Structure 1
């Protein structure tokens, strides 16, 4: 399990040559092996789940190659685990190669029975233990993998499964289902194929280099399955630095307030660097994202490397249809213009900087293979009746959305959406702006949140797309952290230990200035522990 503590055992002596290649381990040159620690593990700087998956795959194939055992990579059903096929007549040679190479390396092995849950991983004590694998159709192998901080651990799910394919005439037959083909030619030549064909955690469009590696496989698997998402998915953030004196001055002037320079040090503007860690969550858990757009009001995080591939900072001036509406301090107004970002993909995710991808997800969590978006209704309810002075700005905007939707479709929306990444279609945003020009223009012109606003990205889009056949309701395992909660530290600790949330929101809606320093003292180390792996958008060390 991602993040789970991996069970350890006293280190076994390593057989000479069984684990170490000249100058490196089977996992690769960037890994370090620590057999003398209480919990043995291989560590790698800036570890990600996909790199751990690849390391296990590389270790298994290296051992098979060294023994001259034929093998080919298979598109398995579990995106986290790699799969290697071996002809059944080569079982004995494969098991011998794995047993010798894994001896003393801390590796785990499990017999996999199709249709049954993955068994508890075992660490074979000696070669004799391998007799239990003499007839298993599938063998799952993994090494304990950690980042150097010890907070990100990759469990047996990220291992490599070795399948034994049975001769069937001139074919080899798979012992269990995969995504493409249950039989391959027995004498088929090996071919190099893109790694994204073998896990949906990768994409041909992703700009992270991990998306463009190749693996040895068979020509039968050089196909795009019906469940593949073949279109690019971009991601948009809106971000503001509330400590910036120039921004504070613009805000004060727009509101008619008096700007005081000492307000720049006010505790309510303490930066938590959420954007840094949200971007880290992408590298860890959504490397298939193509381009990232950070929409700002003439601001830049000082740590952000704007020259990084796949990243662009977008100023409000680039996207607002009417420049007279600037400056604006209304997120509803800014969100109404996101579809105007030049180069933005039709399919994109919109995140606030307090949203994080909590564990590895494929784009299927947000879109169907046919391009339909998914939305995530909340258990809360929007009050009935017209907008009133008692409504929060969120409820008022949902009510304004409801008026438009009822006029167009005769339907009444009663639920807001969970505050997690929003899956959006650029064409739907454009269509709504043209269908509701007056309401759209009024929202865009509101410099501060107004009771006449639409909430385009967090509500209106999803219902409009639903009623026009372009979005469907779905669900994610959602973690919500309210920083003002008295048990903040305990909640964060549980979430870090479990790492079982698909999406996480860290919200400070009810925080007061005098509490923020104490909250940051708890939150900052949690963010660093949950997302320890730097992303390529960071200019320098933390």
Structure 2
């Protein structure tokens, strides 16, 4: 997955969203969009409105399946080892007809073809189907992979061969068909067996039972692939955001009228409450790169983002009034206070990811990045260290909360925490937060009642609940490629450019705690361009 530069555009009829039996069909859509192809160093790249990685994956699979169906060739889906692409199996005796069907499709709609050697240390580079070299070794290949590269209308994303569909030639041995390479379930299936429907999540860890069906439909497969493997994650995972629009006059009045002593300048910094529209793009990042999320819960102080369509399945507003157990704690302007109540969200899954609105998923990730198949949460310790000693007036709100976390956990478990957490979405267990609130009722209630950040706060989600879960056997340390970028840096444009060009981070955070009013306008222009380029596809929840 990368960016696409501008190139000459040529119109290609029929390569859009409708099903084209002999070409690269796209995911089903209400109406067929216009489509173009770019002839460039990338080969043929088809423009796809509403492009997502899963959409490209399914479009390649359905195109190849349509070619085989049109030719009357039996095939079934295989639980391959790649989460990005798909795999279909055909019988070796059908090779000649399979190759003829693939040749017809790639001749009408040029794409890429690769011969896959299961014994090679690394895969061979795909070759444009226009190039005769692409067809030289297909007559003996055990596995082929076909793809049609796609980009969004503004040429920001390029989803290429890794999202293609592999064709495996299975050989008949007695009463069984035997695979040419390993997959996630079995080496052989009954030769005369019939197909059954298999849930989409069986064929990619990027998919769950809650992924939209047009992106990941059930597939015709063999019963041997329907087993529940030890590394499958079948439990639901939700996402939770806390969000505030600091420019809302009603909210500003509530904040001005609130009674609470601010002990540290950072606690009431206006930068903490600025809405830069990050939430819209963070939700887009889930739509693009974590489509296995079941529900998105946006926690607000009776605010609704202007871009959000309310009432759609899969995304809802949860107000402070709904989740706070003590209404006297409201209004609050303290993220620690709000986070202490997240586990009270109605209908929240046991396993959930908590995002600040400045956190983003940077490329396709599986739920396994955040949870083990047994349900254990993963936390991501920082390279920094919590300062020694008790809370001091000179401590930042973050350090004060970490020290309070440390003192309580050491008293209860006899263990000393030394590291805060990285700014990576926090993988949480609802039951662990419920138990922590029950076991530390005074500290929890004190944090909930702090209208602004206070020296007595815990940091419930970003540290305390994670370590509590670890010390009670429900969490373990993990790692992932990520970037933390503070916006108030002089080389912001260069850093955003490197992040956009690389697209090699599982997650990133664009944090803003120290910007001045003079910084914000220049930053916003950079952010608008960056976020639109990184996440060009709107989520289903946008107006």
Q: Say if 1:6 and 1:144, in contact at 8 Å, map to a contact too.
A: no
1:322 matched residue in structure 2? 326
Aligned mate of 2:460, from 456, 459, 462? 456
User: d(CA) in 1 for partners of 2:8 and 2:115?
Assistant: 20
1:154 matched residue in structure 2? 159
- What's the Cα RMSD here? 2.6
1:396 aligns with 2:394: no
**Paired positions, count:** 526
C-alpha offsets along residues 417-462 of structure 1, whole Å, 9 cap, x if unaligned? 1111100001100101011111111111111000110001000111
User: d(CA) in 1 for partners of 2:375 and 2:186?
Assistant: 25
Q: Say if 1:33 and 1:41, in contact at 8 Å, map to a contact too.
A: no
1:163-174 equivalence runs, <5 A: 163-174=168-179
2:202 matched residue in structure 1? 197
User: d(CA) in 1 for partners of 2:260 and 2:414?
Assistant: 41
User: d(CA) in 2 for partners of 1:356 and 1:36?
Assistant: 29
1:58 matched residue in structure 2? 62
Aligned mate of 2:287, from 280, 283, 289? 283
Query: Unmatched 5+ residue regions in structure 2?
Result: 262-269
1:465 aligns with 2:465: no
Cα distance, 1:192 vs structure 2: 2.4
Judging changes above 3 Å, is the alpha-carbon distance between structure 1 residues 172 and 452 closer, same or farther for their aligned structure 2 residues? same
1:410-429 equivalence runs, <5 A: 410-429=414-433
Judging changes above 3 Å, is the alpha-carbon distance between structure 1 residues 345 and 268 closer, same or farther for their aligned structure 2 residues? closer
Q: Say if 2:80 and 2:86, in contact at 8 Å, map to a contact too.
A: yes
2:266 matched residue in structure 1? none
C-alpha offsets along residues 150-201 of structure 1, whole Å, 9 cap, x if unaligned? 1011021111111111111110111111111110111111222222211111
Q: Say if 1:267 and 1:514, in contact at 8 Å, map to a contact too.
A: no
Q: Which stretch shows the higher mean deviation, 130-139 or 34-43?
A: 34-43
1:86 matched residue in structure 2? 90
Cα distance, 1:83 vs structure 2: 0.5
Judging changes above 3 Å, is the alpha-carbon distance between structure 1 residues 110 and 428 closer, same or farther for their aligned structure 2 residues? same
C-alpha offsets along residues 49-74 of structure 1, whole Å, 9 cap, x if unaligned? 00000011111111112222221110
User: d(CA) in 2 for partners of 1:100 and 1:35?
Assistant: 18
Judging changes above 3 Å, is the alpha-carbon distance between structure 1 residues 225 and 269 closer, same or farther for their aligned structure 2 residues? closer
User: d(CA) in 1 for partners of 2:12 and 2:538?
Assistant: 34
Query: Unmatched 5+ residue regions in structure 1?
Result: 258-265
Cα distance, 1:513 vs structure 2: 1.1
2:522 matched residue in structure 1? 518
Q: Say if 2:296 and 2:314, in contact at 8 Å, map to a contact too.
A: yes
User: d(CA) in 1 for partners of 2:378 and 2:409?
Assistant: 18
Cα distance, 1:208 vs structure 2: 3.2
Secondary structure of the corresponding residue to residue 401 of structure 2: helix
Q: Which stretch shows the higher mean deviation, 101-110 or 174-183?
A: 101-110
1:305 matched residue in structure 2? 309
1:124 matched residue in structure 2? 129
User: d(CA) in 1 for partners of 2:71 and 2:33?
Assistant: 22
Judging changes above 3 Å, is the alpha-carbon distance between structure 1 residues 144 and 132 closer, same or farther for their aligned structure 2 residues? same
Judging changes above 3 Å, is the alpha-carbon distance between structure 1 residues 252 and 6 closer, same or farther for their aligned structure 2 residues? closer
Aligned mate of 1:183, from 176, 183, 188? 188
Give the TM-score, by structure 2 length.
0.92
User: d(CA) in 2 for partners of 1:402 and 1:269?
Assistant: 27
1:34 matched residue in structure 2? 36
